[in-house]
Structure 1
Amino acid sequence: MTCENSGLPLDAALDEIASRLRTESTRLLLDHWRTVKGPLLMPDRRQIDPVQFAPVLPRVWLCDYAREADRFRYRLTGERVAKRFGHNLSNHYLDDNTDPDYYPRVHRYYRNVIDFPAVLYIHGRLYAETDDPIHGERILLPLSEDGQTGHGVIGATEEIIPRNKSDGRYLPEFQKHIYVTLETGAVVEESLPV
């Protein structure tokens, strides 16, 4: 993991992440989150207006963080997310629906989004633990009831390069994680093999 102080103010660091986004789902969600965040460190879940990103709702999920149990519970999941897992994840926990071998990594990056707090952009091989991984991107955005302490995460996942299993198209063997910390605008990057 590398940490660099980008020397950029927070808005410039978030603009840099926005410029990397290649799909409508991730762009619309990040734009809306930034708009409702305003001067707060993080917006409240109740500020999120799904009408503002309605075209991409099938790819969006929302988790609450149960701090005492250190678990993330899905509050809602879009249709595409539910289809990927074979059922609606609402009211299920992240650890109930994540391969046990991958769960520590996934839990860690969800916690980083809450604890830093940070915006997290991931690209590369996603759903790597499944029989049907994708070359995609994911954005995770922290939510807060008081504007200061993370209480949840909203995110979207989208395929960048559609792939037919039989066509032999390249599928990355990595995930790149880029965090933008909200308190300082520092950028933290890591590449993880999958």
Structure 2
Amino acid sequence: MARDADTRLVEFRQRLGGKDQRTLLDYWQAKRGARPMPSRADIDPAELVPLLSNLMLVDVVEGGARFRFRLVGTRVARASGEDRTGRFFDEYAFFRAYPSVTEQYRQVVASGEPMLATEIFFNREHGTAYDVERLLLPLGREEGQTDMLLAHFRFMRGPFSRE
């Protein structure tokens, strides 16, 4: 079973389009060790400084019934036109208009496995949109229960793209 999971992660890594995504996945794998996923306590922001501006930490509330922005990186906040730290997904029209995005977060909670998705990212302040790849990585307890998600955004075009 563990071998199947390792094989899936190797294949998953090959699908990642950005160096920062691969770096973050490798970091996540190193921190999890033999466990299903690392815990939030395993993640040291000082070790992720080059990636921080494109990261979010998201609290899993009520087993995935709701999600709350715990930390929003500066590039993500600027790209969206607002800092959503401390707010719930369901407070934003975007998540009501695109329920598939929240469903992807729920899938990662349920599976305990990373996910890569492409989505439209809207800037409320300027009314602009960007294509992004979003890498979702579960964080949780020893027994594999996801209680937080680590998200990385790779902006594919527009003023926030890099790499």
Task: Give your verdict on TM over 0.5.
Answer: yes
Partner residue of 2:55?
A: 60
Amino acid at match of 2:8: A
Larger Rg: 1
> By percentage of residues, which structure has more helix?
2
After superposition, the CA RMSD in angstroms is 2.2
1:118 alignment partner, SS class: coil
Is 1:119 aligned to residue 123 of structure 2?
A: no
Amino acid at match of 1:10: A
Partners of 2:64 and 2:15 in 1: CA distance: 34
- 1:112-153 deviations in whole A, cap 9, x for unaligned? 100122210113x43279743323311001111334111111
Q: How does 1:36-185 map to 2 (within 5 A)?
A: 36-67=31-62, 70-99=65-94, 100-102=96-98, 104-123=99-118, 125-127=119-121, 131-160=127-156, 162-163=157-158
Normalised by the length of structure 1, the TM-score is 0.71
Q: Given the superposition, is the C-alpha separation of residues 17 and 88 from structure 1 closer, same or farther in structure 2, using an over 3 Å criterion? A: same
- Structure 1 gaps, min length 5: 1-7, 165-194
Structure ranking higher on relative contact order (CA contacts 8 Å, 6+ apart): 1
1:92 alignment partner, SS class: coil
Cα contact 1:44–1:147 (8 A) shared by 2: no
Amino acid at match of 1:30: L
Partners of 1:79 and 1:128 in 2: CA distance: 15
- Percent identity of the aligned residues? 29
Is 1:29 aligned to residue 24 of structure 2?
A: yes
Partner residue of 1:178?
A: none
Partners of 2:54 and 2:158 in 1: CA distance: 18
Poorly superposed stretches of 4+, deviation over 3 Å: 128-131
- Structure 2 gaps, min length 5: none
Normalised by the length of structure 2, the TM-score is 0.83
Name which of structure 1's ranges 104-113 and 91-100 shifts more when overlaid on structure 2: 91-100
